[in-house]
Amino acid sequence: MPELPEAEVVRRGLDRWVSGRRVETVDIVDARSVRRQEGGPAAFESALLGARFAAAARRGKFLWLPFVRDAAAEPRDAVVTHLGMSGQVLLQDPAMPDPRHLKIRLTLDGGPARHEGTSDLPGELRFVDQRIFGGMFVSPLVPTLDGAPGGAGTDLPLIPAAAGHIARDVLDPLWDPSTFHRALTRLPSGRPRTTGVKRVILDQAVISGVGNIYADEALWYASLHYDRPASTLTRTHSGILLEALIDVMRRSLEEGGTSFDSLYVNVNGESGYFARSLQAYGREGRDCLRCGGRIVREPFMGRSSYRCPRCQRRPRLKKFTAADARV
DNA sequence: TGTATAACCTGATCGC
DNA sequence: TGCGATCAGGTTATAC
């Protein structure tokens, strides 16, 4: 299931194989995959025909390719891709049969000089999506603003308007423990966040790139229960949690991401191997590798949470006091 | 204003 | 064998 490491693997593939190339044809096989496109499928097609892609970028699980029509111009728009639950971006030879669940097909030219002599340069970019939670759409690039969730201090000067609400992601080098602690434990208004810590780290407007798998993994490393009120976390807790999030994302990235089935692959159709390294997620009934307790699976937000009941104990109910509300 | 939840979607799996 | 129910989960809209 695509989270930050999987999106980054795909971004690297796009950057290597697609940037610098021009779109020759656009074929929307299933209009549901461009449902977020303003103006509908026709607008998507007319925006991309003849466009030349620049370097691929990403924030959290959103990735995008800025594009231009005039080689001398600066990109003002980007084609944004979100993989959702089951999206894949494949670069394939046009002679290969269409994959099942093919939704969008872009044929690309031979690319710039750096692609010359590359005998196996795939000619088609194919967006494949079984569950149709993902999609593609064109969005104007806007400056990242101070005060926006991922705004000041980011290394991305421009971001698609449609992704402007997404906060700085886990691997952004400019996160620091103090900023993270405040984002985790306080609302923008300054009031305490009383909601559970897992809900908060899944909120892409607080920190982006975390999904159900890596949330459970990071909480296991930090020995935190998913329902512990965020406002009760100390700076030590939030510091350990941030380190755990960064560490689990980096290690997953080194192994090409997490694949449980064929639903996540890189642009070459290859699976990642991080599923073998998971400590909590998907390990129901197996021993906790830290304390020997038995990992349990519990319903949470309409999905599942995995934890060790011994070293990630359920928080005791605490009466809310005036001191908690002090800003 | 902040939080919780339903809806979207398809294939695999399970029980009857 | 075939059918229906259930489950998986990221994002957004809606309800509270």
Asked if residues A80 and A47 have their Cβ atoms less than 8 Å apart, the reply is no
**Closest-CA residue to A86 (of A2, A207, A210, A198):** A2
To the query of whether residue A61 is one of the catalytic residues in this protein, the response is: yes
Q: Is the CB of A227 under 7 A from strand B?
A: no
Compute the average pLDDT of residues A108-131: 82
Asked, colleague to colleague, whether A4-163 and A177-317 share their fold, the answer is no
**Closest-CA residue to A283 (of A309, A302, A264):** A309
Compute the average pLDDT of residues A230-240: 94
Asked if residues A125 and A53 have their Cβ atoms less than 8 Å apart, the reply is no
To the query of whether residue A298 is one of the catalytic residues in this protein, the response is: no
Q: Is the pLDDT of residue A194 over 70?
A: yes
**Closest-CA residue to A124 (of A21, A225, A6, A214):** A21
Q: Is the pLDDT of residue A114 over 70?
A: no
What's the topology of domain A4-163? N-terminal domain of MutM-like DNA repair proteins (3.20.190)
State the pTM of this model: 0.90
To the query of whether residue A3 is one of the catalytic residues in this protein, the response is: yes
What's the topology of domain A177-317? Helicase, Ruva Protein; domain 3 (1.10.8)
Distance, CA of A286 to CA of A292 (rounded, Å): 9
Name the residue ranges covered by the structural domains of chain A.
Answer: 4-163, 177-317
Q: In this complex, which residue's CA is closest to the C1' atom of nucleotide B6?
A: A302
Q: Is the pLDDT of residue A267 over 80?
A: no
Straight-line distance from CA A249 to C1' C4, in Å?
39
Report, in ranges, which bases of strand C sit under 7 Å from a protein C-beta: 7-12
Looking at every residue in chain A, the average pLDDT score rounds to 86
